Amino acid sequence: MIQPTHYSNRILRPVRDWFVWLTLLLAMFLSMIPVGQLPGYPEWVALTLTFWCIREPFKVGMGAALLIGIVLDVNSASVMGQHSLAYVLLAFTANGLSRRILQFPLPQQALQILPLLLGTQLIMLATRMSVGSEFPGLTYFLESFTSALLWYPLTYLLLLPQYQPHEKDENRPI
């Protein structure tokens, strides 16, 4: 059944590899914008990585997460391995939960993404606290909430190329 809905059971065109990597690169770029220690700045990279890990579990996985984590470690001036550890675990969980999460409508998907992102932050917190860094305050966790709110618009944005039909047909609903 093909209907003009945006539920995940809608038939999509296959994703292009370069688009996946381009969006991940864009997310890294957004994370490099120097907003300082502004609380609640979305975790673009974690969000995009989760998205592709859920949508394309055979294309994006733990290896990509490790590489992206290393770049983020350097650019955020944190300890090497902090982001990569958290993102590898995030990718593993997202890959595993992929089929389950995709069954839900988007708002409920966002609700299921939230614990994943919070878990990622908790892992980073545990890593740094265990080596004696100071606690950054509860506003630290605000980032996950703003990121989860972005799940809905982000899904539309990232699936946009896949919505396009091969050949335009005015009589066809999609």
Partner 1 sequence: MSVVGQQPPPFFNRGPAPLARLAFFIALSLLMLVLDLRFHTLEWTRQAVALVTYPLRRIAYAPVEGIQHGSGYFTTLVTLKDENDRLRQRQLSTANQLLRQEHLELENQRLRALLDMKLRQPATGQMAEILYAARDRFAHRVIIDKGNQQAISPGQVVVDEQGVIGQVTRTFPLLAEVTLITDKDQAVPVQIVRNGLRSVLFGAGAGNLELRFLAANADVQAGDILVTSGLDGIYLAGLPVAKVTRVDRDTAYAFARILCEPIAGVERHGQVLVLGRHEALPPAPPDPESSNRLDKGRRGKKKETQ
Contact positions toward partner 1, by CB under 8 A?
Answer: 28-37, 58, 61-63, 65-66, 69-71, 74-82, 84-85, 88-89, 92, 95-96, 127-128, 131-134, 136, 140
User: Among candidates 55, 141, 170, which has minimal Cα distance to 101?
Assistant: 55
CB nearer to partner 1: give 71 or 118. Answer: 71
Which residues, in sequence order, are CB contacts of 172 under 8 Å at separation 6+? 165
**Shortest spacing between CB 83 and partner 1, in angstroms:** 9
**Shortest spacing between CB 38 and partner 1, in angstroms:** 9
CB nearer to partner 1: give 70 or 118. Answer: 70
**Shortest spacing between CB 70 and partner 1, in angstroms:** 7
Residue 61 CB neighbour total at 10 angstroms: 18
Cα separation, 85 vs 126, in Å, equals 11
**Shortest spacing between CB 31 and partner 1, in angstroms:** 7
Residue 121 CB neighbour total at 10 angstroms: 18
CB nearer to partner 1: give 21 or 152. Answer: 21
Number of H helices, E strands in the chain: 7, 0
